[in-house]
Amino acid sequence: MTTTLRPTGPEERDAAGGRSRRYTISVNGRPAGRVHLAADPGDAPVGRIHELVVDPADRRRGRGTVAALAAEEVLRGWGCGAVELRLDADGSAALRLAEQLGWVERSRNMVKEVAPDAGGPELPAGVALREMSAAEYPEWLAAEREDYVRAWTDRGLPPAAAARRADSAYTRLLAEGPVTPGTILRVLEIGGGRAGALWLRNGGELPDGAESYVYSVAVAPEQRGRGLGRALMVEAERVCAAAGLRLLGLHVFADNTPARRLYDALGYRTVTVNTVKPIG
């Protein structure tokens, strides 16, 4: 039997130049599933498989493997040098297939059910936790964006693509700066200087069904190893619980071992595995 991808409509373009298209997985002309592909704009786009679903009656027959390889060919034809794919953490068959086809974990999304009576952190002597002031916000945002871009370029994303991803994220998530609805910004202070910061958002459209989301938690390199990262995460839980919310989410890179260990110790569970595969 021949398994192919057949477009279900014309290619779509967004205002920034990104492209996407939907396909039917076809077996000898018979529909057997669906695929949705997309690619970032620019000269070195990154492709994404937003959806790859094989109909139940056609599973365990290699349809998913052929469809995934065909999707890579489409994205390669679009000039993509790498492809991203999100997988449910409890989808063992899909995870095994992705590993067999050369996909590797780059990051994961995690969530935690927060106790309704979650209290604040116990801070070391000389450490204060307070709200970020409006005057501090521009400097924090510039440093935050720089760290974001560096984190992605260090993991293989082209610099231009990392910059576009950063600009899109901060424009969307911080549209009104520090007073964007639902935004909580906290600062850890030692001796009058900033030693760490927390960026949390309550409510809105958040990943993985979370009600509250930690977008950034950072501790100055010279202050690490003192439990300050844990303190910021405990503060995030307190803020979440105080707002009457229960499910707190976050994103962590697979190679960030200290953060992974902290989140595991705090009781977070993985819900989504984000994988990547070079195809250039």
Helix H or strand E segment including 171: helix 159-173
Which residues are CB-contacts of 49 (< 8 A; sequence separation ≥ 6)? 35, 36, 37, 68, 71, 75, 83, 84, 85
Quick one: pLDDT at residue 1? 63
Quick one: pLDDT at residue 229? 95
CA nearest neighbour of 17 among 42, 37, 36: 42
The dihedral of CA 237, 127, 181, 160: what is its sign? negative
Calpha distance 5→26 (Å, rounded): 6
Quick one: pLDDT at residue 259? 95
Domains in the chain and their CATH numbers?
Answer: 3-80 (3.40.630), 111-272 (3.40.630.30)
Calpha distance 160→26 (Å, rounded): 36
CA 202 from centroid of its chain's CA atoms: 17
Calpha distance 270→276 (Å, rounded): 17
Quick one: pLDDT at residue 93? 84
Quick one: pLDDT at residue 280? 79
pTM reported for the whole predicted model: 0.90
Calpha distance 11→22 (Å, rounded): 8
Calpha distance 22→201 (Å, rounded): 32
Quick one: pLDDT at residue 89? 92
How high is the mean pLDDT in each 10-residue block of the chain (280 residues)? 91 91 95 96 87 92 93 95 93 88 95 95 92 96 96 90 92 96 96 93 94 96 92 97 97 96 97 94
Instruction: Record the tokens describing residue 264, joined without a space.
Output: 């595991």
